[in-house]
Structure 1
Amino acid sequence: MLRDIPPILSPDLLWSLAAMGHGDTVVIADANFPAEGLGPRCHRLDGVSATDALRAVLKLLPLDTFVEEPAFTMQVVGDPQAVPEIVAEFQQIVNATADAPAKLGSCERFAFYEAARQAFAVVQTGEFRLYGNIILTKGVIGG
C-alpha cells in the first residue's frame, strides 16, 4: 500500500505516469473513445468518470509549463466554439488541482485522434458524457 495515491489509479497506470518523461502526453478518454485501436498502452478505469480520473491524475502529474496548451480537449463536431458541460468541469478541475493551472485548448476531432495516437498512454474511463476527452502534457518535477 502507498499513501496519498488516489485509489482509482491502478498499478499499471501508476507505472505509465511514472515512466512518462517531460513532454510526453496522456489521454483521459470517455467510454466512446476508440482507445484500444489507437496504439498507445490503454488503461481501463471502467465505472470511473473522466472528471474523477482527471482529478486523480493531476494530483500526481505536473502540467508542462513550456508549451502553450498543456491540456486540450476535442472540439464539438459542427460547433467548434461550443463548450460542453464536461469540458467546463475539466477547466475547473485544472484550475483547482493542477500545480500550474492553464487554460484548456481544443482541437478538431480527427486532429485529437492523431494527437492521441502519439500519446504515451490512454486512460479509458466509464464516462458517458459526450466529449469527455482530454490530453495532458507532462511537465517537469522540480527539485
Structure 2
Amino acid sequence: MLRNIPPILSPDLLHALAAMGHGDDIVIADANYPAESSGVPCIRLDGISATEALEAILSLLPLDSYVPDPALVMQVVGDPTAVPEVVGEFQSIIDRVADNPAKIQGLERFAFYDRASDAFAVVQTGERRLYGNIILKKGVIK
C-alpha cells in the first residue's frame, strides 16, 4: 500500500504512468473498446468506470500544456456535435482535477482509433456507457 495514490490504480497502471514521457498518450477506454487488439499494451481496470479512472489518473498525470488538444474523445457516429453524458463528466473532471484544465476536443471514430494505436497504453475499464473513451497527452511537472 502507498499513501495518497488512488487505490483503483493497479501496479501495472502506476508503472505505465511513471514510464510515460512528455507527449506520450494514454487511452482510457470503455468496455466496448477493442483494447486487446489495438496493438498497444492493455491494462485492465474491470469494474471501474471510465470517469473514476480519469479522475484517479489525472490526480497523478499532468496534462500537456504545449498542445491545443491534450484530451481527445471519440465523436458520436452520425452526430459529431453530440456530447454524450460521459463526455460531459470527463470535462467536469478535467476542469476540477487537471493541473492544466483544457477543453476536450473530438476525433472522428476511425481517426480516434488511429491516434490510439500510437498510445503508450490503453486502460480498459468496465465503463458501459457508449463513447466512454478519452485520450490524454502527458505533460511535464513544472
Identity within the alignment, %: 70
Pairing 1:66-85 to 2, within 5 Å after superposition: 66-85=66-85
- Which segments of 5 or more consecutive residues in structure 2 lack a partner in the other structure? none
Root-mean-square deviation (Å) = 0.4
- Report the TM-score when normalising by structure 1: 0.98
Structure 2 counterpart of 1:33: 33
Pairing 1:56-75 to 2, within 5 Å after superposition: 56-75=56-75
- Which segments of 5 or more consecutive residues in structure 1 lack a partner in the other structure? none
Structure 1 counterpart of 2:97: 97
| 2:7 counterpart SS class | coil
Q: CA deviation at 1:141?
A: 1.0
Q: CA deviation at 1:69?
A: 0.4
- Report the TM-score when normalising by structure 2: 0.99
- Whole-angstrom CA distance in 1 between matches of 2:112 and 2:41: 17
| 1:60 counterpart SS class | coil
Look up the equivalent residue of 1:89 and give its one-letter code. Answer: E
Structure 2 counterpart of 1:112: 112
Q: CA deviation at 1:39?
A: 1.1
- Whole-angstrom CA distance in 2 between matches of 1:81 and 1:48: 27
Look up the equivalent residue of 1:52 and give its one-letter code. Answer: E
Q: CA deviation at 1:75?
A: 0.1
Structure 2 counterpart of 1:122: 122
- Whole-angstrom CA distance in 2 between matches of 1:44 and 1:124: 5
| 1:3 counterpart SS class | coil
User: After TM superposition, where is structure 1 displaced by more than 6 Å over at least 4 residues in a row?
Assistant: none
Look up the equivalent residue of 2:119 and give its one-letter code. Answer: A
